[in-house]
Amino acid sequence: MADKEPQQPKELPIVLVHRLPSYKIPLDPSFRDQLRSQFHMLDPHESPEPYDSFLARHAPFIRVLMTIGYSPISAEFLERLPVLELIVATSAGLNHIDLPACWSRGIVVTNASLAFAEDVADCAVGLLIDVLRRISAADRFVRGRLWPVKENYPLGFKLGDKRVGIVGLGSIGSEVAKRLLAFGCTIAYTSRNKKQSVSFPFYANVRDLAANSDVLVLCCALTKETYHMINKDVMVALGKDGVIINVGRGSLINEKELLQCLVGGEMGGAGLDVYEIEPNVPKELFGLDNVVLSPHCAVMTPESFEALDQLIVVNLKAFFSNKPLVSVVSNE
Amino acid sequence: MADKEPQQPEELPIVLVHRLPSFKIPSDSSFRDQLRSQFHMLDPHESPEPYESFLARHAPFIRVLMTIGPSPVSAEFLERLPFLELIVATSAGLNHIDLPACWSRGIVVTNASLAFAEDVADCAVGLLIDVLRRISAADRFVRDRLWPVKENYPLGFKLGGKRVGIVGLGSIGSEVAKRLLAFGCTIAYTSRNKKQSVSFPFYANVRDLAANSDVLVLCCALTKETYHMINKDVMVALGKDGVIINVGRGSLINEKELVQCLVGGEMGGAGLDVYENEPNVPKELFGLDNVVLSPHCAVMTPESFEALDQLIVVNLKAFFSNKPLVSVVSNE
């Protein structure tokens, strides 16, 4: 079905490109060519026909759709695609997709976690070392020409003794664990369900995990259940020296309460890649040396984008050849 | 020999405290108490007697000396201590001690590497992640309120797959290797001699290592042989995207040539904890986003200082009980 000579578009398997008009398929030419040589990419926004009639006309043939960025998929939208079987998402977080509606229809959803996991984990670990060892703050100290003036820079804290609690032990959480073990940290986790094949201690809820940890690393999906799961109770349980690293979604944390704790000196520190309302970062954080602020770029390496391109092509080909899919998002 | 009741000082084994007047052991520390309860600590600067006569009078009984900070120990100084057998140093770097003079006298030297290695390695890895993923630069970007203004932050680069060349595979270099393996990096090294028990590829000189690496991590001692070992040749061999992390001594690198390469865009970046002329950091580096600057604090955690205190006590006790010493610095 997929070979190098361009086939008549009508003969290639159909993939709907679902995007808000402002998002486009990345201009990476080889990825675009790869897709177009193997699939008939239907993009309503590239057609002069009105969106609704374009969609209605093609709907009987659309078994697969690819979402670009955070273009939302609601239950109502799904109803317009009665033969849809697969959604190939291009991000790790899927809070813009009505997953329960997909699963009740038997629609399979794949995401980018497998492509992104290592880079996000690298970033999470980098943020943690930075917070504990004050690397960015020390860099500011030097650039502010303070080193010759003030004798010594305040001490940081050792990583190796820290008890790290991972919230969400999926692909990203597992890569974080693997790295932190090499630093001598001990790992525990919470997850929707205990994972049988994993030997780290499991806690059924995040408050108990926090009470037994020095650091929390948030690697889980944002859902109704996990919204604001990190609140003042959890922060108090984590303790006055506790550190939170968030590479998930901003709203996993009650940001207002996080601010109060950090500004009030009731927490050890935080490394944040995500915020409740991006790109608005609470300005109270700018004056704190025990906080490291990252502009939602934990996935941003050329290597992860290329890995994602490959992952998408692999899944589309697999679907149309009835082969197993990868990076499937499940309900466990 | 060592018990809780204070013994007559004359009965305890003698240890000379060798320090420049400006360096001190904190007077309120439990470390000071531990030492004084087990050893007769002779400190010329705490005696009203003139330094020379104090030293000459006690010299026949001095078998061990403890250096505080980088207080220099020259061959000339050693000649005044004819019975000296052991020097317990309190830093990892020993370029302030005439090691060849010690070894030719059969004097054993121990350093702080075993106590410091993990924290220094954590810092080296933190600096590397920071340079590759631009964590400190991104933090500045956010704090400067640029995130809402400029759309996206420039991409970083993946750690996994990077070929890391470790210069000096001692305690610190080994801990760096252990950590970076967990990120998916490949490791090679150069050292004075190939290490038989190690399976990483060995290069006999640093230029060949650089030619086969993407990153160099400098973890070796500063000696006549290693002075300015990282020069323009090596930087060119490392390549235009090459990254250097230095947690050793500033003068391992020809700093003038490093600054030229970095400012000229001929290198990928650098993470520096040490400089040729501390605390003076070349100001040309302050404007570069691919450089992370640390004020010689890779060891600075309370945990590593406590580990060092313990290491010193362990070695002093071991020496006087004829037991094996740890963290011995050898000529290999």
Q: How far is A230 from chain B (nearest CA, A)?
A: 23
Beta strands in chain B (DSSP E): 14-18, 40-42, 64-67, 86-88, 108-110, 163-167, 186-190, 215-218, 243-246, 269-272, 291-293
- The string of DSSP letters for B113-128 reads HHHHHHHHHHHHHHHH
Does residue A331 surpass a pLDDT of 80?
A: no
Tell if the CB–CB gap between B304 and A158 is shorter than 8 Å: yes
Interface contact A126, partner B, CB < 8 A? yes
* Tokens linked to A72: 């939302």
Which residues touch A18 (CB under 8 Å, ≥6 apart)? A65, A66, A67, A68, A71, A73
Residues of A with active-site annotation: 249, 278, 296
Among A23-37, A98-112, B283-297, which stretch is predicted with the lowest mean pLDDT? A23-37
Beta strand segments in chain A, E: 14-18, 40-42, 64-67, 86-88, 108-110, 163-167, 186-190, 215-218, 243-246, 269-272, 291-293
Residue of A256, A265, A204, A203 lying closest to A232 (CA atoms): A256
Q: How far is B130 from chain A (nearest CA, A)?
A: 7
Question: Which residue numbers of B are catalytic?
Answer: 249, 278, 296
Chain A (105-124) residues lying within 8 Å, Cβ to Cβ, of chain B: 118-119, 122-123
Token reading at B63: 């078998």
In this predicted structure, what is the pLDDT of residue A54?
96
Question: Distance, in angstroms, between B273 CA and closest chain A CA?
Answer: 10
Chain B residues 38-57 with CB within 8 Å of chain A: none
Chain B residues with CB-CB distance to A155 below 8 A: 297, 300-302
With cut-offs at 50, 70 and 90, classify the pLDDT of residue B25. confident
Tell me the pLDDT of chain A averaged across its residues. 92
- In chain A, what residues touch B140 (CB-CB under 8 Å)? 136, 140
Dump pLDDT digits (tens) for B219-234.
999 999 999 999 999 9
What is the DSSP code string of B144-171?
TT-TTTSS-PPP---STT-EEEEE--SH
Q: How confident is the model at residue A9 (pLDDT cuts 50, 70, 90)?
A: low
The pLDDT of residue B257 is 98
Q: Tell me how close the Cα of B200 comes to any Cα of chain A, in angstroms.
A: 17
Min mean pLDDT across A25-39, A255-269, B255-269, B300-314 is at A25-39
SS3 B259: helix
- What is the rounded CA–CA span in Å between residue A273 and residue A249? 8
What's residue B8's pLDDT? 55
| Residues paired with A164 in a beta bridge | A187, A215
Q: Return the sign of the alpha-carbon dihedral for residues A203, A208, A212, A215.
A: positive
- Looking at beta carbons, which residues of chain A come within 8 Å of B130? 126, 130, 135-136, 139
pLDDT at A1: 47
Please report the residues numbered 54 through 93 in chain B whose beta carbons come closer than 8 angstroms to any beta carbon of chain A.
none
Per CB-CB distance under 8 Å, the chain A contacts of B139 are 130, 136, 292-294
Q: Which tens digit of pLDDT belongs to each residue from A119-157?
A: 999 999 999 999 999 999 999 999 988 887 666 677 888
Separation between Cα atoms, residue B186 and residue B202, nearest integer Å = 12
Residue B151: its pLDDT value, please? 61
Helix, strand, coil shares of chain A, percent, nearest 5, are 40, 15, 45
Among B75, B72, B78, B107, which Cα is nearest to B93's? B72
Is the CB of B129 less than 8 angstroms away from the CB of A118?
Answer: no
Terminal Cα-to-Cα distance of chain B (whole angstroms): 34
* Residue B30: pLDDT band with limits 50, 70, 90: confident
Model pLDDT for residues B165-185, shown as the tens digit of each residue: 999 999 999 999 999 999 999
| CA closest to B139 among chain A residues | A293
Pair B274, B250: CB distance under 8 Å: yes
Chain A interface, mutation test: which of B118, B119, B127, B129, most A Cβ atoms within 10 Å?
B129
pLDDT, one tens digit per residue, over A53-69 is: 999 999 999 999 999 98
Token look-up 């207080």 returns B71
Tokens standing for residue A138: 């020390």
Contacts of A286 in chain B (CB under 8 A): 142-143
Average pLDDT, integer, range A98-108: 96
pLDDT, residue B1, reads 46
Are A138 and B179 inside 8 Å of each other by CB?
Answer: no
Note the pTM of the prediction, 2 decimals: 0.88
The two tokens of residue A176 are 């974080």
Q: Domains of chain A, with CATH numbers?
A: 14-112+301-321 (3.40.50.720), 117-293 (3.40.50.720)
Please check whether residue A56 is in contact with residue A84, taking contact to mean a CB–CB distance below 8 angstroms. Answer: no
Which among B139, B179, B302 is the nearest to A182, CB-wise? Answer: B179
Could you tell me if B203 and B194 are in contact, meaning their C-beta atoms sit under 8 angstroms apart?
A: no
pLDDT at A212: 98
Q: How far is A186 from chain B (nearest CA, A)?
A: 14
Residue B5 confidence (pLDDT): 53
Cβ-proximal residues to A287 (8 Å cutoff; 6+ apart), any chain = none
Interchain proximity A293–B178, CB inside 8 Å: no
Picking from B159, B184, B292, the nearest residue to A135 by CB comes out as B292
Mean pLDDT of B177-195: 96
Distances (CA, A) of A159 to A163, A245, A248: 9, 14, 22
Confidence of residue A288 (pLDDT cuts 50, 70, 90): very high
Determine phi and psi for A245, rounding to 5 degrees.
-115, 125
